[in-house]
Amino acid sequence: MEPIIKQYENGLRLVVQPMANYRSVALNVQVLVGSGDELPNEQGLSHFCEHMLFKGTKRRTGQQIIDELSMLSVDYNAWTSESATCYHTKGVADNLEQCVDILSDMYFNLQFTPEDFDKEGDVIVQEIAMHEDRPKSVLFDLLNSTFFHGTKYEHPVAGFAKAIKKYQPDDIYQYIKKHYIAPNTVIAMAGDVTLARAEALVAKYFLPFYPQGKAQPKMRVNTPAIVPVPSQVKKKKNTEQQHVALVFPVGNQFADDRYALGLLTLILGGDMSSRLFINVREKLGLVYSIHAERELCDLGGYFAVVFSCTPKNTAKVIEVVSHEIAKLRQEGVTATELTKARNFRHVNVLFQSESTVAVNNGNTDQLMEYGRIDSTDAYLRKIDQITVADLQAVIDQYLRLDRMSIFTVGK
């Protein structure tokens, strides 16, 4: 059954996907606020709020929240990105109401002690330090801070330790008050749940606690994609390998060619049969790991080739990758490569359709990013309509060596 979307008068949105023969239900309460929505004096607050919501409410202590979820044997967690904050559970269908009750209580009734605030601030500082110990994390922070310089996505999601230490409890309460509102929120459920049950739970645990009034849901705006000036940026770190990203600017998340770009990612560096894996690792033995990926947002996006190698091999790997991209521009992809990438995408979508969590995440993200949800069949039709010529157009437009930036972390 395809997902059902309901938009309430106050701007709250509900998406439900009943899945036959499942006994579990995945639940998301996702708020359209992330690090990209923070003002300069708010950096890291979206992520800080995510932590603090587990520290207590007017009805429950932080320990009671954890104990109740654990007693229900519920998988639960939360995350923050540049564009959203999500609180999620997965449990058996009989426990869905308790999960909705707990997440609603956290969302509307946040209350914590000054001691918990100070301790959690210290925890986040430790999380930032742990993040900075990971070369790949440092690499992508370096990439994003340069690629998105001067934009809302320039700073890291968790913020900076210096800023975290200066925040006060009221900063959390005020940020929640400003952003945790109906037009910013999507509630999603997938699995052993009906639309009627989902609507009843929302009517009981969410709708009564919002101010009355009409509003339209918050939406990301389609803006022209940024095209940063090519750069070479290196950050020294005492590591055995150098960690490198070769980056090309592409269109934003609304661009029609994003589907072709996704297939190109698979062909160039998606798995062990991809061009880069075969030619850089298998034939030359220059790396252990190399892959391609794309990252898209409302402001733009990038296509990246990411690898790690010993410092003496770095220049050679960049040379080989550049040669492969030049060859791709000249000769294009083959029909066989396109078929293989299509098959991979079909199977990947099929596997995701067998997971209540994957289905729920996909529905939530699509609704928040595009205001709609494409059916699985509609998505696969778009994939099947992509031709070799479409891929060549993407290659010609984006994979230009004169626009390539190089980011390196290591000795």
Query: Which tens digit of pLDDT belongs to each residue from 354-385?
Result: 999 999 999 999 999 999 999 999 999 999 99
Write out the H or E segment, with its range, that includes residue 376: helix 376-384
Confidence grade of residue 389 (pLDDT, cut at 50, 70, 90): very high
What are the start-end ranges of the E strands in 298-343? 300-309
Other beta carbons within 10 Å of 174: 13
Say if residue 1's pLDDT is above 90. no
Q: How far apart are CA 97 and CA 38, in angstroms?
A: 32
Q: Which of 302, 293, 301, 294 is nearest to 269 (CA)?
A: 293
Query: Which tens digit of pLDDT belongs to each residue from 58-99?
Result: 999 999 999 999 999 999 999 999 999 999 999 999 999 999
Confidence grade of residue 235 (pLDDT, cut at 50, 70, 90): very high
- pLDDT for res 390: 98
- Give the mean pLDDT of the chain: 97
Say if residue 107's pLDDT is above 90. yes
Confidence grade of residue 115 (pLDDT, cut at 50, 70, 90): very high
Radius of gyration of the chain (CA): 23
Q: How far apart are CA 411 and CA 409, in angstroms?
A: 7
Q: How far apart are CA 19 and CA 356, in angstroms?
A: 8
Would you say 108 and 46 are in contact if contact means Cβ atoms under 8 Å apart? Answer: no
In the predicted model, what is the mean pLDDT of residues 101-127?
98
Tracing tokens 């996702």 back to the chain, one arrives at 30
Query: Which tens digit of pLDDT belongs to each residue from 324-338?
Result: 999 999 999 999 999
How is residue 358 written in tokens? 């994957």
- pLDDT for res 323: 97
Q: Where are the alpha helices (DSSP H) in 133-277?
A: 135-147, 161-164, 169-179, 195-205, 258-269, 275-276
The domains of the chain, with CATH numbers, are 4-209 (3.30.830.10), 232-410 (3.30.830.10)
Q: What is the pTM of this model?
A: 0.95
User: Percent of the chain scored above 90 by pLDDT?
Assistant: 98
Query: Which tens digit of pLDDT belongs to each residue from 295-353?
Result: 999 999 999 999 999 999 999 999 999 999 999 999 999 999 999 999 999 999 999 99
Would you say 353 and 19 are in contact if contact means Cβ atoms under 8 Å apart? Answer: no
